[in-house]
Amino acid sequence: MSAPGGMGPVAAPDAGSSLTPADLAAVPAEVVERLRAARRVLTICHENPEADALGSALALALAVEALGGRATPVCADPVPELYDFMPRIDRFRTAPDPDLDYDLVVVSDCGELARVGPVLQSHADLFARLPVVNIDHHKSNPRFGLVNWVDPAASAASEMVTLLLPAMGVPLDAAGGAVADVLLAGLVMDTATFQHPNVTPRTLRVAAELVRAGAPLADTSRLLYRTKPESQLRLFGRVLARLQSELDGRLVWSTLLLADLAETGSPPAHSEGIIDLLSQAREGEIELLFKEQLGETRVSIRTREGGPDATVLAAHWDGGGHARASGATVPLPLDRAIPEVLAIARRMLGDGAAA
């Protein structure tokens, strides 16, 4: 059953708030009711996490605790070092707490349930017997929860959670300001510091509320986008050196090899941000980053506003995301995946239709 599509529990904005009554009314009532009623909550995000996945799941856990409950934020993979600056980030576990009898699962920032990773298989009984609340902003989300709040107009899951907390009665400066800090990190990451076309007036109002609650915008932006170890810069250099383009620059692509990670001493998380560099190509309409994996290939996709829909390309391999930013895993080694993906991308650029 999906969450009600009508008005949610409208909490009047407090004095000085940038949020409008319509912003707060976007929150489905059943999402609020489920979270407020739960006492032992598992909040889980996708594997290979970034700041929005981590920030939304952690903020939800802290909000439950602010209301007197217990919560465990979980991510199947260890938190990348890049996000060590986020307060309370050490709260994440790679599996549920075996000593806690959960009564609710909240999945955030997952375009499909399988994206939570191996936790889904190792704790299948937990997902089968507990109600699942699905909070996500991916257009391709199949609405896998008992309660679903999927808003493709939101720039980030962290934008949605920021709207949710006032409806729950949790201040944005809860947990000593950690809630606002981690939500702003998610918002900055998924908007590239408010430069992506997914930014709306509501996104900026949400950001203003987080800054008003004490979140440090300048520091967060610097740490996420303008602070990189030398090994990561060398990794970026290798990928950019392989840059290729076709169709008068409308199709741009490059590759990230497993050897690149090994030879630069970079963890996989250091590939974050490379696709955004490729998307700066002046004539580019489709930009692709092919990431070599064992026996398969991960492809990150970016498209220009008004151009092809990235989800259409990703859907060929059961991937998804957003119209301008999507991804998929192609079940082929790199040398076979590249020509298959490029052929479809060329057709999309050739006639503007779904391939």
- CATH number for position 298: 3.10.310.30
* Same domain, residue pair 40 and 158: yes
For the segment 28-39, the average pLDDT, to the nearest whole number, is 97
* Helix or strand (DSSP H, E) at 244: strand 244-246
| 163 and 55 both lie in a single domain | yes
- 253 and 109 in a single domain? The answer is no
pTM summary value: 0.86
- Say yes or no: 61 and 75 in one domain: yes
196-251 pLDDT, tens digit per residue, is 889 999 999 999 999 999 999 999 999 999 999 999 999 999 999 999 999 999 99
Asked if the structure places residue 120 within a domain, the reply is: yes
Q: Is residue 34 part of a domain?
A: yes
Question: Within a 10 A sphere around the Cβ of 67, how many other Cβ atoms?
Answer: 17
Helices (H), the chain: 21-25, 29-37, 51-66, 119-122, 124-129, 157-168, 178-191, 201-212, 217-225, 230-241, 258-264, 274-278, 310-314, 334-351
Band (4; pLDDT cuts 50, 70, 90): very low
Measured at the CA of 115, the angle between CA 113 and CA 189, to 5 degrees, comes to 120
Same domain, 176 and 313: no
Judgement on whether residues 117 and 237 belong to the same structural domain of the protein: no
**52 lies in the same domain as 151:** yes
How large is the average pLDDT for residues 48-71?
97
Total number of domains constituting the chain: 2
Rg (CA), the chain: 20
What angle separates helix 51-66 from helix 29-37, to the nearest 10 degrees? 60
pLDDT at 15: 65
More confident residue, 354 or 185: 185
Same structural domain, 195 and 271? no
Residues 206 and 279 in one domain: no
Position 16 scores a pLDDT of 78
Same domain for 145 and 204: yes
Range of the domain at 114: 21-225
Q: Do both 143 and 263 map to the same domain? A: no
* Residue 205 belongs to domain with CATH number: 3.90.1640.10
